[in-house]
A and B are shown apart, each in its own frame.
Chain A
Amino acid sequence: MSAEAPPSPQPPASPARMGNSPDDKDLVAQALAGDRAAFGVVVERYAAQARRVARAVLGDPDDADDAAQDGFLSALVKLAQYDARRPFGPWLMRIVANAATDRRRRRNVRRAEPLDPSLVGGGPRPDALAVRSELGDRLRAALAELSERRRTAVVLFDVEGYSHGEIAGILGIPEGTVRSEVFHGRRRLRTLLADWKEQVT
């Protein structure tokens, strides 16, 4: 544990922050009553988020999509267990993160395995896109170096906008641990981003 005290940054505003809207609850209630279309709206609403969270855990985008799908279908089956007094997003993301972790375990992939270069490479691109793509490659590689828990915490906080408390619920760890994981993960990624900016300029 570092001597530095993790600061308390605020998560960004994102759809995750609005996860407690009555809409979600209504949709879940309709889906629970067997309304297929309502469940479809839930999937549409959370698809991008679930795919990113699964990708944070797994690295590989195709595996991530499989895991996100597993997560949605698992949520469908467990919908009756959802407590409507709580926000739906964290509940769903917990299921998605667990599905991704299960998939990762099943495939016996090492925790800090570097990303397959074939997954992040691509054909010739215009310069601006190439530069942007290079940053993406670097960030994904840096994320892959972090522990699964740390990178998932960072992505849930920074990208999806969940609070430390919500992430604690999603990952099933104490809030203090989440703060520490987010702090150390962001520090590593910030350093990488600063280096990259220096190189580009």
Chain B
Amino acid sequence: MNEDLELRAALKAALEPKGDQAAFVARVMAQYDNALERSTIPALDVLASWFRPGIAAAALIAGLFFGRAALAPASPAAAESIDAAMAPAEGTGLAALVTAQDPPDPSVVFTSLVEPQ
């Protein structure tokens, strides 16, 4: 037990800091503001660094979609079907649907799109 106490005392003395305690405390406290700043600024930096490439990527993707849509030839089949749908049919068709006062019957909607002219 005595040996333990001796060892403890000797170890404590051997590891005792060299410099002044107050100087160490002052040194830590001198970095107080910097530490808090560093802990917040990097987070903003990270967000900012994500923001710029994010905007660039979104612009690129949007550009690709617009370019693709502009350069792609219109499909004849699609044009036909739209024309067919828009063509005034007898009693049915989109023109009739959009000018009607009352909500149409669902069957009218379907037949206006599917019905061959």
Name A residues whose Cβ lies closer than 8 Å to a Cβ of B.
9, 12, 36, 39-40, 43-44, 47-48, 51-52, 55-56, 61-62, 64-65, 68-69, 72-74, 76-77, 132, 135-137, 139-140, 143, 154-155, 158-159, 186, 189-190, 193-194
Contacts and interface: CB of A to CB of B under 8 A. Distances in A.
A39 B24 CA distance: 14
21 contacts: A9-B4, A39-B32, A48-B16, A51-B17, A51-B24, A55-B15, A65-B19, A68-B24, A69-B28, A69-B31, A73-B28, A76-B35, A77-B35, A77-B38, A140-B14, A140-B15, A155-B15, A158-B4, A158-B11, A190-B7, A194-B3
B15 A56 contact: yes
A136 B13 contact: yes
Nearest to A31: B32
Contacts of B16: 48, 52
Interface string B1-33: 001111110111111111101001101110110
Contacts of B35: 73-74, 76-77
Nearest to B30: A69
Given A62-B18, A139-B11, A155-B11, 16 more contacts: A36-B29, A43-B25, A47-B24, A48-B16, A51-B17, A52-B15, A55-B15, A56-B15, A65-B27, A77-B38, A132-B13, A135-B14, A158-B7, A159-B12, A189-B7, A190-B3
Contact of B10 (A44, A51, A64, A139): A139
Contacts of A51: 17, 24
A193 B7 contact: yes
A61 B15 CA distance: 8
The number of chain B residues touching the other chain, given as a range, is: 20 to 34
Given A40-B25, A73-B28, A77-B35, A143 B3 contact: no
B99 interface: no
A62 B13 CA distance: 16
Interface of B: 3-8, 10-19, 21, 24-25, 27-29, 31-32, 35-36, 38-39
A68 B21 CA distance: 12
Nearest to A158: B8
A155 B13 CA distance: 12
A193 B6 contact: yes
A65 to B, nearest CB: 6
Contact of A159 (B8, B21, B31): B8
Contacts of A9: 4
A48 B21 contact: yes
B35 to A, nearest CB: 4
Contacts of A159: 8, 11-12, 15
